[in-house]
Amino acid sequence: MPEQAPLLADLRAEPPEPVRAATLWAVLATGVLSMLLLGDGLAINLLIVAVPAALAAYFASRTAGRRPRPWSLTWAVGGLALLVVPALRDAGWPTFLAIVSSIALGSLALHGCRTWLGILLSPLGLFDALWKGIVWGWRGVRERAGSARGAGPAMRAAAVTAGLLLVFGALFASADAAFADLLGDLIPDTSLVGAPWRVLLLTVGAVGALAAAHTAASPLRWDRLAVKPGRARGRMEWALPLIVLNVLFAAFNGVQLAVLFGGYDAVLDKTGLSYAAYARQGFWQLLLATLLTLLVIVFALRWAPRDGAKDRALVRAVLGSLCALTLVVVASAVRRMDMYVEAYGLTRLRISVVAVELWLGVIILLIMAAGVWGARWLPRAVAVSAAAGVLAFGLLSPDAMIAERNVQRYEDTGKLDLDYARQLSADAVPALDKLPEPRRSCALKPIAESLGSERGPWYAMSLGESRARRIIEARPPSVDWGVCDEGRTGVPYP
């Protein structure tokens, strides 16, 4: 009978030990905080909920005999740090990137992966643990709830107390407006209307914490998946195409350097292109060239000759040269986008693709470093660079950067894409507030309407929204849409 495939047999660790009381209390705290805090939006509440979930995973891993390693602590701290972004920024897109990246880093902390496949597949382990975590936690609750010692009485008392407070608190809040106001100042909405939504949040928070704890106690061993190395090629067969590619890169970079030092005017006169058209024409091609170069490096390493020191030197020389030349391509792409932004202004798409291009440049630098000091650390270093990039992207506030750059462009040239400014989030309000009237009011009016007049609770309001509200309340937009529409259609503002 054939042996069972490693994917089915070797990935799973031993079943976890029975869940301990400390883990259950942390899971309960995660569920309760999710129910109370997550129903009004995402801000600092997400970080507050993540802390007991991380403690549940820590207690479970300690029970299983797993000791936190430096890399696991790095992933855990990084995952929690990424949740600072929703607390600071109102814009949804950096918040989404931060939350997804935080989940990815959390899965790395739970699994402790270090290979390419392990890092890529570790988030799947959380889905694998969802049902198992529920069963594991339910068994632990049953064992302790029926006991007369230890955590059993405390758990029963906490459950009964919480149930009585929720039921009667909701009834009294619905019956008396004054009591509802008093209760609303202390805790979130407890009305019967929102009860199903709160119960769902309680369930999601508890199940998520149980999945994280089960994964920490019994992770999938993704690092046991191995990719067989490719068949080594001969030196000529391997090196000739790459050397020719290096020559092509060198010729292109030579032209770029000549343009850089010779000025763009001569090139524009020769090509017949405008300043912006020249920049736009090249950026996307250079971005694609950078991506394809990374693929070429990956496959070249897979098929590289490996017979001795001479082969290693050849690989380092050829691929090192290709990486160095690619860095010039990255710099050229970023410069072209900067030219395009000077002509047409900064947008979310433009700042995003520049960020991606810069991150690809960081990856190329890491590959060059791996060629000198070894590649064992490379997968984790790439993951760190991605998480650090997402964190920096959120902390720098892209919407605020877009607004500041476009306001500066307006001051220099008198040009402003007012329609685009209206689409920005509350993070852009401090910069847009510097515009002269009526452009200021035309830009801020839709943002003010989207914020509304009622403030959300402190735990669901970002710092960006809080600042925007203060500015708008101090100087509300003072024009009607007719004036704004006139300016947009080209009629001068009064």
Q: Is-contact 255 332, C-beta < 8 A?
A: no
> Both tokens of residue 178?
């004054």
Q: Is the pLDDT score of 314 beyond 60?
A: yes
123-175 pLDDT tens trace: 988 888 888 889 988 888 777 665 555 555 665 666 677 667 667 766 676 66
12-37 pLDDT tens trace: 667 777 888 889 889 989 998 998 88
CB atoms near residue 23 (< 10 Å): 29
Residue 12 DSSP SS3: strand
DSSP for 430-454, written as a single string: HHHTTSPTTHHHHHHHHHHHHH-SS
Which helix (H) or strand (E) segment is 493 a member of?
none
Distances 343 to 260, 275, 337, 338, 407 between C-alpha atoms, Å: 18, 8, 10, 9, 13
> Both tokens of residue 190?
């407890």
Q: Is-contact 60 216, C-beta < 8 A?
A: yes
Q: How confident is the model at residue 336 (pLDDT cuts 50, 70, 90)?
A: confident
pLDDT of 486 reads 53
How far apart are alpha carbons 302 and 289 in whole angstroms? 20
Q: Is the pLDDT score of 216 beyond 70?
A: yes
83-122 pLDDT tens trace: 999 999 998 889 999 999 999 999 999 998 888 888 998 9
Nearest to residue 351, comparing CAs of 391, 398, 390? Answer: 398
- Across the range 214-220, mean pLDDT stands at 90
Per-residue burial over 334-357, b = 16 or more CB atoms within 10 Å of its CB, e = otherwise: bbbbebbbbbbbbbbebbebbbeb
